[in-house]
């Protein structure tokens, strides 16, 4: 019974550390060669953690062997073009008159000019250290964007 409670506690800690892609919104249209802002949110938590790094990548879901839909595309196996790789330091940004947001960091990245029209997977891979141990945590989040 004790091991179940410990496992449940660790799972809750990991879930609390989970990032979210705050921008762009899913199925937004993007144009090759332009810059977009990727907002990576990390909800505030009481569990101690240390951010290590993130990787932001973009991969077309159009091409040989693909059906053009990102729904069946495994983003953990092929990140595509890496747009950013480095430190992640989310912070609170309180703006008077706007709703409070979780800690976040914005990244301006350039959409590859060679990206074909159709769906593309924007992927954020997040690595952090959690708890007193600490223990390593790797998660991958993605959204689908429309390349026009």
pLDDT of 68 reads 80
DSSP labels for 8-64? HHHHHHHHHT--EEEESPTT-EE-TTSEEEEEEE----SS-EEEEEEEEEEEES-ST
Residue 114: the pLDDT is 95
pTM: 0.85
Give per-residue pLDDT as tens, 2-35: 444 344 444 444 445 799 999 999 999 999 999 9
Q: Give per-residue pLDDT as tens, 84-97.
A: 999 999 998 877 77
* Nearby residues of 118 by Cβ (< 8 Å), 6 or more positions away: 60, 61, 62, 68, 146, 147
Residue 53 has pLDDT above 50, yes or no: yes
What is the tens place of the pLDDT at every residue in 55-89? Answer: 999 999 988 777 788 887 888 889 999 999 999 99
Domain hosting 89: range is 2-147
The CATH number given to whatever domain includes residue 122 is 2.60.40.2550
pLDDT of residue 64: 78
Confidence at residue 121, expressed as pLDDT on a 0 to 100 scale: 96
pLDDT value of position 95 = 74
Q: CA-based Rg of the chain, rounded to a whole angstrom?
A: 17
**What is the number of domains present in the chain?**
1
């Amino acid at each position: 019974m004790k091991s179940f409670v410990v496992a449940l506690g660790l799972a809750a800690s990991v879930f609390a550390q989970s990032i979210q892609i705050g921008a762009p919104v899913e199925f937004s249209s993007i144009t090759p060669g332009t810059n977009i802002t990727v907002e990576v949110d990390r909800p505030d938590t009481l569990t101690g953690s240390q951010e290590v790094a993130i990787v932001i990548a973009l991969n077309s879901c159009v091409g040989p062997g693909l059906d053009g839909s990102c729904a069946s595309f495994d983003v953990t196996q092929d990140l595509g073009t890496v747009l950013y790789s480095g430190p992640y330091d989310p912070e609170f940004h309180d703006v008077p008159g706007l709703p409070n947001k979780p800690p976040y960091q914005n990244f301006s990245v350039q959409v590859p000019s060679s990206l074909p029209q159709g769906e593309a997977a924007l992927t954020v891979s997040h690595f952090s250290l959690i708890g007193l141990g600490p223990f390593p945590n790797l998660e991958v989040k993605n959204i689908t964007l429309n390349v026009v």
